[in-house]
Chains A and B, each alone.
Chain A
């Protein structure tokens, strides 16, 4: 006696729960056809044009998969395939400029990606050689100071908004001010910091700290926004559990709410750093340009990588290729710094994420 004996014989007519499927091979065939059709699009020019090829391929694929699936599988399946195709195409189109940008920066930045670039400055250099050591130091100091200032301001503001504000007029006012601050153009923040330091220390003052203040103005609202969201995600049940143990509110925030939200807060801070580390305009007016290393943010001009890139490109010197190469390598360095920061944030937030939560 086997199980198959209990199984009724298959029905002769088509059953209501089976349908013809466009299998994996059919799917792949449509995709290959679309790629081939896309290749036809650069025939008139005679040479491959990657962007046009990809876009024509995607459009052809969307159209073909819908029509073929409609004939083979029916309306619902065809619509499902069309939507999947459109969503994927949109992602690929958006990713194209990004891939192209990274490619270009790596391709052109690798020329000067050598030891000299990371150990020497531009002091006394007019032509070839020289490096961005001073700009890397400047970027790290200015961004570091900005982070040191904006994280406490931002985090405490977020704690007020999420834990104490509760619909108070002050909280609402702060919230809308933060929204406005998120939208201010970066040059305005730069001019604000410039004007502030001119008032305090006389005209023409340029220093690393002025640049850091400008970046703080840009960074704080981003930190506030993300930290507030993260604090609001902490379930009220945990706060109540803590209160019910007789733990005061401030300690509940420090020991229960913040540790639960810390992974998200760190990610938010790193996003804020990434937002400001590439700022050029505000640093141009506040920190200025120097040819050598300046370790003191409170005295004298300080070059940062974006400003360095800008000047190497607009005033490349002779021969111009040397300056342009330095500019590309500086851009590549900046991208690597941001990449390292993101990796660090990932590692930290994974390590600090509440255990047992997925």
Chain B
């Protein structure tokens, strides 16, 4: 494992030929990357033999997956198959629930998030998350919501610095024009779609390297959904984005890679059926169950 870890840690930052390596197996990809690219963080997520538990219940079993940096990876699958559980394990939010734990490893920049001595708080500053239901802090104004991550982490702002960050983050979330005149009003007064974009602004204000989105559009109307999809398109040049979605058109529209999760029956653990480039997954998947699901014949 340590060899592997070192290999990933030395992986380069800039990828011009990312698509070449997408189909190569993990180890080869990592090895070749480490050979011909300069060192630096690349925020590639490598998941190895991940089993996710709620107490004694195995919820998701044996996930092996590579999530490419600066791209959108979609997780699709039927309800209850463990997509949300899996995505929460990528920034150690899973263990917030009583009795929940994981076995296996999640490497980011070659560092195991579940390694000994890793501080979950530090992980979450690096790997941001947007939830299914918009959850702005009700006691804070719009501006304070955006600044919450930095401010709650004891950062003190110089006068103009805070305003700059608020504007930058809100612009980044395509919300600035709608709220610039009422930054001091409570965030919970916004519409659902605006609240969700506020939550995205809040998440990107702490400058994470990876952004996890757990069904970010499921509570939103088509116009807000479109706004957030456009946003993902822009954000993927800077961030590694993982999105859980029930909407297959959405997965097809926004993602470069897609993983299909399924579950064999009630009480059985969810697992990954296959993962491939999104256009392959929706046109020519290898597994029959994937074909059934993406064509709507699942069941």
Contact among A166, A167, A246 for B121, CB-based, below 8 A: A246
Given known pairs A167-B98, A242-B152, the reply for A357 and B138 (CB within 8 Å) is yes
Taking CB atoms, residues of chain A closer than 8 Å to B125 are 245-246
Q: Cβ of A245 and Cβ of B138 under 8 Å apart? A: no
Taking CB atoms, residues of chain B closer than 8 Å to A11 are none
Q: Cβ of B139 and Cβ of A260 under 8 Å apart? A: yes
Given known pairs A241-B137, A243-B96, the reply for A355 and B188 (CB within 8 Å) is yes
A residues 234-291 touching B (CB-CB < 8 Å): 235, 237-248, 251-252, 255-256, 259-260
Contact among A241, A244, A256, A355 for B186, CB-based, below 8 A: A355
Q: Cβ of B139 and Cβ of A355 under 8 Å apart? A: yes
Is A202 an interface position by the 8 A CB rule?
Answer: no
Q: Cβ of B138 and Cβ of A355 under 8 Å apart? A: yes
Looking at A238, A239, A356, the one whose CB has the most chain B CB atoms below 10 A away is A356
In the complex, A354 Cα to B185 Cα: how many Å? 12
Q: Cβ of B129 and Cβ of A238 under 8 Å apart? A: no
Q: Cβ of A354 and Cβ of B152 under 8 Å apart? A: no
Is B128 an interface position by the 8 A CB rule?
Answer: yes
In the complex, A49 Cα to B189 Cα: how many Å? 54
* Distance between B194 CB and nearest chain A CB, rounded to angstroms: 12
Q: Cβ of A354 and Cβ of B135 under 8 Å apart? A: no
Chain A minimum-CB-distance residue to B141: A355
In the complex, A357 Cα to B188 Cα: how many Å? 8
Contact among A235, A356, A357 for B135, CB-based, below 8 A: A235
Taking CB atoms, residues of chain A closer than 8 Å to B136 are 241
Q: Cβ of A354 and Cβ of B124 under 8 Å apart? A: no
In the complex, A252 Cα to B135 Cα: how many Å? 14
Taking CB atoms, residues of chain B closer than 8 Å to A237 are 131, 133, 135
Chain A minimum-CB-distance residue to B129: A244
In the complex, A260 Cα to B96 Cα: how many Å? 20
In the complex, A56 Cα to B138 Cα: how many Å? 50
Q: Cβ of A244 and Cβ of B203 under 8 Å apart? A: yes
Taking CB atoms, residues of chain A closer than 8 Å to B149 are 245-247
In the complex, A241 Cα to B152 Cα: how many Å? 12
Q: Cβ of B139 and Cβ of A354 under 8 Å apart? A: yes
Contact among B93, B141, B188 for A244, CB-based, below 8 A: B93
Size class of the contact patch on chain B:
20 to 34
Given known pairs A235-B135, A355-B138, the reply for A247 and B152 (CB within 8 Å) is yes
Contact among A242, A252, A259, A354 for B188, CB-based, below 8 A: A354
In the complex, A190 Cα to B149 Cα: how many Å? 48
Q: Cβ of B131 and Cβ of A240 under 8 Å apart? A: yes
Given known pairs A240-B93, A355-B138, the reply for A246 and B188 (CB within 8 Å) is no
Given known pairs A244-B203, A354-B188, the reply for A255 and B135 (CB within 8 Å) is no
Q: Cβ of A244 and Cβ of B189 under 8 Å apart? A: no
Is B28 an interface position by the 8 A CB rule?
Answer: no
In the complex, A238 Cα to B203 Cα: how many Å? 13
In the complex, A278 Cα to B123 Cα: how many Å? 52
B104-145 CB mask vs A (1 if < 8 Å, else 0) is 000000000000000001111110110101011111010000
Is B199 an interface position by the 8 A CB rule?
Answer: yes
* Distance between B187 CB and nearest chain A CB, rounded to angstroms: 8
Looking at A167, A242, A247, A252, the one whose CB has the most chain B CB atoms below 10 A away is A247
In the complex, A297 Cα to B132 Cα: how many Å? 55
Given known pairs A246-B121, A247-B153, the reply for A240 and B135 (CB within 8 Å) is yes
* Distance between B138 CB and nearest chain A CB, rounded to angstroms: 4
Taking CB atoms, residues of chain A closer than 8 Å to B129 are 244
In the complex, A259 Cα to B149 Cα: how many Å? 16
Taking CB atoms, residues of chain A closer than 8 Å to B189 are 355-356
Q: Cβ of A256 and Cβ of B137 under 8 Å apart? A: yes
B149-183 CB mask vs A (1 if < 8 Å, else 0) is 10011000000000000000000000000000000
Q: Cβ of B96 and Cβ of A240 under 8 Å apart? A: yes
Is B148 an interface position by the 8 A CB rule?
Answer: yes
Chain A minimum-CB-distance residue to B187: A356
Q: Cβ of A246 and Cβ of B135 under 8 Å apart? A: no
Q: Cβ of A251 and Cβ of B138 under 8 Å apart? A: no
Given known pairs A247-B149, A355-B139, the reply for A241 and B188 (CB within 8 Å) is no
Is B262 an interface position by the 8 A CB rule?
Answer: no
Given known pairs A166-B98, A355-B188, A355-B189, the reply for A244 and B138 (CB within 8 Å) is no
Contact among B123, B126, B137 for A238, CB-based, below 8 A: B137
Q: Cβ of B138 and Cβ of A260 under 8 Å apart? A: yes
Chain A minimum-CB-distance residue to B205: A245
Taking CB atoms, residues of chain B closer than 8 Å to A243 are 93, 96, 121, 124
Chain A minimum-CB-distance residue to B132: A237
In the complex, A239 Cα to B131 Cα: how many Å? 12
List 6 A-B residue pairs with CB atoms under 8 Å apart, sorted by A's residue number: A238-B137, A240-B131, A241-B131, A241-B136, A246-B149, A355-B188
Interface on A for B, CB 8 Å cutoff?
166-167, 235, 237-248, 251-252, 255-256, 259-260, 354-357
**Interchain residue pairs A-B with the least CB separation, the first 7:** A246-B125, A355-B186, A356-B188, A354-B138, A245-B149, A244-B129, A356-B186
